[in-house]
Structure 1
Amino acid sequence: MSNKIGEMAWLDLTVDNASEIKDFYQRVIGWQVEDVAMGEHNDYVMKSPDSGEAISGICHATGGNAGMPATWLPYFLVEDINNAVANVTELGGELLTEIKQVGKDSYVMVKDPAGAVCSLYQKG
């Protein structure tokens, strides 16, 4: 993940059939797959075949991911998520989720005034 404000910190794809789709990208792109236990199912970290570095995630559209769009979703690193959320709404954007916590980190999915969707991510 990036540590620089403004850069893409992560890239996720959330779909109903994550197990099949991770196989698709593994064969098409050549990514290595690491299972991530999520209770009753696994989500997947997709890794570079050369460096083993985590490139993206492919997740099941269940639980906290229910209702996520079936599209690649970039997570952009922000310094202050509350300030970023205030700016989203002030500038005509829309919050698609509440701010969510992952450990000490926070993220929120937003839609810009043109309708494009991304997530904002703050490291804790």
Structure 2
Amino acid sequence: MNNKIGEMAWLDLTVDNATEVKDFYQKVVGWQAEDVAMGDHNDYVMKSPETREAVSGICHAKGENADMPAAWLPYFLVKDLHESIAHVTKLGGELVTEIKQAGNDKYVVVKDPAGAVCSLYQKG
């Protein structure tokens, strides 16, 4: 994905029953699932039935994802993760997770002052 700073770079759903939920969205929305090996289990990249492009992920709430909220979570691309985190806490938000690594990239889940959650994502 060629996203720009400030755009949504990804959309994930992390739940205890990812396989069942994956099946739900395949039938309801028409997405097609592709398995992604995650050590002792598979998560899923969900693809558009028309373009076959990846549109979201559905993940098991285990391992690195055990502390992720069970909600659709947009990942917004930021230039400097630490600077964005400083603004989150200064402006009345809070961190939901610690900073996590995904290859060379890093991200953190935050809660805004209204209580809505999202992830801030910095490409490595």
TM-score by length of 1: 0.97
Q: Structure 2: which 5+ residue stretches go unaligned? A: none
Separation of aligned partners in 1, 2:42 and 2:12? 14
Q: Deviations over 1:54-81 (max 9, x none)?
A: 0000000001111322110100010110
Q: 2:67·2:97 contact (CA, 8 Å) conserved in 1?
A: no
**Retained in 1: the 8 A contact 2:94–2:110?**
yes
Contact 2:14-2:71 within 8 A present in 1 as well: yes
Identity %: 77
Task: Indicate conservation of the 8 Å contact 1:2/1:10, yes or no.
Answer: no
**For residues 115 and 43 of structure 1, what CA distance do their matches in structure 2 show?**
27
The match for 2:105 is 105
Give the superposition deviation at 1:2.
Answer: 4.5
Distance in 2 (alpha carbons) for counterparts of 1:76 and 1:63: 23
Give 4+ residue runs of structure 1 displaced > 4 Å after superposition: none
Tell me whether 1:87 sits opposite 2:101 in the alignment.
no
Cα separation, 2, equivalents of 1:25 and 1:4? 28
RMSD: 0.9
Which shows bigger deviation, 102-111 or 61-70? 61-70
Aligned 8 A contact 2:68 2:97 in 1: no
User: Aligned partners of 1:104, 1:39: CA distance in 2, in Å?
Assistant: 19
What number of residue pairs does the alignment pair up? 124
Residue correspondence of structure 1 range 1-124 to structure 2 within 5 A: 1-124=1-124
The CA distance in 1 between the partners of 2:97 and 2:2, in whole Å, is 22
Q: Secondary structure at the match of 2:50?
A: coil
Partner Cα separation in structure 1 for residue 100 and residue 71 of structure 2: 19
TM-score (norm 2): 0.97
